Chains A and B, each alone.
Chain A
Amino acid sequence: QVPLVQSGAEMKKPGASVKVSCKASGYTFTSYGITWVRQAPGRGLEWMGWISTKDNNTNFAQRLQGRLTMTTDTSTSTGYMELRSLRSDDTAVYYCARINDFLSGFPLDHWGQGTLVTVSS
């Protein structure tokens, strides 16, 4: 098993920031990248960004550039996603997923359970 366990639900006011954690276990953390995906209520999956667990290089979806930060802590095998200047349309379930860099298609082969972030005044 390769569980990815995420932090709990968050409720935030517009303009605030949220930081979600994703703790990995059961594999060598630095051998696989991490990506974050979100899903607004009743909507599809939206790719947010990628982080290398080897060197913390990142790449983000253009629409989230400037508001999104991703980091990792290799000592605890944990990835973090921080989204700033929250708006109501950031209300979504946020997922972390492991990228299988060893397969040609780079599939997202294991997912966290999701973290609901609600943005409301």
Chain B
Amino acid sequence: QSALTQPASVSGSPGQSITISCAGARDDTGVSNRVSWYQQHPGKAPKVMVYEGDRRPSGVSNRFSGTKSGSTASLTISGLQAEDEADYYCCSYAGGNTWVFGGGTKVTVL
């Protein structure tokens, strides 16, 4: 399974919206329904923010939204806040009980 491709870094000012892309997020059915997104603050464990491409676990702010289109998934953070500064990883279930992560995107709040 090939790795997923994310931009190394994305930045934005407080209140703005940013979008992180995840290319190659296609499972063995050819769609990106099985993509999840994780937020990781320095020294902490990852936390799931979006799953199934566009669904949010309870307790996750609605400022985080996921979209999917073909083999590309995206995570949008709207109303950017200082606490959103973290690393973000996409992850796709690749079938056969295997998963693959993207390389990670560092989000900086200017």
Contact = CB atoms under 8 A, between A and B. Distances in A.
Given A107-B51, A107-B52, A44 B89 contact: yes
B48 A109 contact: yes
Contacts, number: 75
Main DSSP-derived SS at the B contact region: strand
B98 A45 contact: no
Given A44-B103, A106-B99, A111-B46, 9 more contacts: A35-B99, A50-B98, A103-B51, A103-B52, A104-B34, A105-B55, A107-B52, A108-B36, A108-B99
Interface of B: 33-36, 38, 40, 45-48, 51-53, 55, 57, 87, 89, 91, 93, 96-104
**Which 10 residue pairs are nearest across A and B when measured between Cβ atoms?**
A107-B51, A105-B52, A107-B36, A44-B104, A111-B45, A59-B97, A105-B34, A45-B101, A105-B51, A47-B99
